[in-house]
A and B are shown apart, each in its own frame.
Chain A
Amino acid sequence: MTTSLGVVTPELIPFETPLALERGGSLPRYDLMVETYGTLDSNRSNAVLVCHALSGDHHAAGYHESESNKPGWWNHYIGPGKCIDTDRFFVVSLNNLGGCSGSTGPLSINPETGNAYGPSFPEVTVLDWVHAQARLADHLGIHKFAAIVGGSLGGMQALQWSITYPERVEAAAIIAAAPRLTAQNIAFNEVARQAIMRDPNFFDGNYADHDVIPASGVGLARMVGHITYLSDVSMGAKFGRSLPREDRDAKGVNFAVEQYLRYQGEQFGGRFDANTYILMTRALDYFDPTLNESIPLPQVLSTTQCKFLVLSFTTDWRFSPSRSEEIVDALIQAGKPVSYTRLESAHGHDAFLIPDPTYERIFKAFMDRVHQDRGGSV
Chain B
Amino acid sequence: MISHSYRIPDWVAKNSRVLDLGCGDGRLLSQLVETHAIEALGLELDPDKIATCLDLGLSVVQQDLNRGLSNFSDQQFDTVIMTQTLQAIRRPDLALAEMLRVGREAIVTFPNFAYIRNRVQLGLAGHMPVNPQLPNPWYDTPNIHLSTFRDFEELCLTLSIRILDKDTSNLSGKRTWLGKVWPNLFGEVAIYRLTKES
Contacts and interface: CB of A to CB of B under 8 A. Distances in A.
Interface of A: 307, 309, 325, 328-329, 332-333, 335, 337-344, 358, 361-362, 365-366, 368-369, 372-373
B121 interface: no
A362 B57 contact: no
Nearest to A329: B71
B57 A369 contact: yes
B62 to A, nearest CB: 5
28 contacts: A307-B59, A325-B71, A328-B61, A328-B71, A332-B41, A332-B71, A332-B72, A333-B71, A333-B72, A333-B73, A335-B76, A337-B41, A339-B50, A339-B58, A339-B60, A339-B61, A340-B60, A340-B61, A340-B62, A341-B50, A344-B47, A358-B47, A361-B48, A362-B47, A365-B51, A365-B55, A366-B54, A369-B55
Which of the four size classes fits the interface of chain B?
A: 20 to 34
Contacts of B76: 332-333, 335
Given A332-B61, A335-B17, 9 more contacts: A333-B76, A337-B59, A340-B60, A341-B62, A358-B47, A362-B50, A365-B55, A368-B55, A369-B55
Contacts of A329: 71
A60 B51 CA distance: 25
A372 B56 CA distance: 10
A368 B17 CA distance: 25
A338 B17 CA distance: 14
B164 to A, nearest CB: 25
Q: Is the contact region of chain A dominated by helix, strand, or loop, or is it mixed?
A: helix
A332 B50 CA distance: 17
A339 B54 contact: yes
Interface of B: 17, 39, 41, 47-48, 50-55, 57-62, 71-73, 76
B78 to A, nearest CB: 12
Contacts of A325: 71
B98 to A, nearest CB: 14
Most buried by A among B55, B57, B60, B62: B62
Contacts of B61: 328, 332, 338-340
Nearest to B52: A365
Q: Is the contact region of chain B dominated by helix, strand, or loop, or is it mixed?
A: mixed
A369 B59 CA distance: 11
6 tightest A-B CB contacts, nearest first: A365-B54, A329-B71, A337-B59, A340-B61, A361-B51, A341-B62
A244 B62 CA distance: 41
Nearest to B73: A333
B71 A343 contact: no
A369 B26 CA distance: 15
A29 B50 CA distance: 46
A133 B120 CA distance: 69
A124 B79 CA distance: 46
Contacts of A362: 47, 50-51, 54
Contacts of A341: 47, 50, 62
Contacts of B73: 333
Contacts of A366: 54
B6 to A, nearest CB: 28
Contacts of A365: 51-52, 54-55
B59 A338 contact: yes
Nearest to A366: B54
Contacts of A369: 54-55, 57
A330 to B, nearest CB: 9
Most buried by B among A325, A340, A372, A373: A340
Nearest to A372: B57
B41 A343 contact: no
B44 to A, nearest CB: 9
Nearest to A310: B61
Contacts of A332: 41, 61, 71-72, 76
A324 B98 CA distance: 23
A130 to B, nearest CB: 24
Nearest to B60: A339
B55 to A, nearest CB: 5
B71 to A, nearest CB: 4
A301 to B, nearest CB: 14
A123 B120 CA distance: 76
A368 B39 CA distance: 21
Nearest to A321: B62
Contacts of A343: 47
A279 to B, nearest CB: 35
Most buried by B among A333, A338, A339: A339
Contacts of B57: 369, 372-373
A302 to B, nearest CB: 13
A340 B76 CA distance: 19
A26 to B, nearest CB: 40
A342 to B, nearest CB: 6
A332 to B, nearest CB: 6
